[in-house]
Structure 1
Amino acid sequence: MAFKGQRAYDLFRNNRPVVRDYPGTHSTINGSVNQTINPNDARVIYFIPQTERDKNPNLSQNP
């Protein structure tokens, strides 16, 4: 299962940040190549799909 793009999920699950200190597509943010995404960052919260919310009216969308 190596290189399947699941590393961020594992880091957030273990309450560790994703540290991106290499050049790539994220380097356009403020012109810097360094980026750290903490597990409590708003970008980590995933939305519940509308189809699931339609099936269960007790669900509320993540903030």
Structure 2
Amino acid sequence: MGTIGYYNEAEGFGKIETDFGEEVLVYQKGALNGINLKAGLKVSFDMHQALSIAVNVQVID
């Protein structure tokens, strides 16, 4: 789990600051379940082991 620290909607690229103080890259084009990603949103995610990026990102209400 973590918080979107930075997100560029035009490029579909950003960083998640994990609850453990690490930064994880995230790529997402368009809305995620009807919600546009932006800095400050709390999210849960899985790590793609081979690429070391966030996958299965879900916004936490």
Q: Is TM-score (shorter-chain normalized) higher than 0.5?
A: no
Larger RCO (alpha carbons 8 Å, 6+ apart) = 2
> Which is greater in Rg?
1
Higher helix share: 1
- In the superposition, the TM-score normalised over structure 1's length comes to 0.26
- Larger strand share, 1 or 2: 2
TM-score between the two structures when normalised by the length of structure 2: 0.27
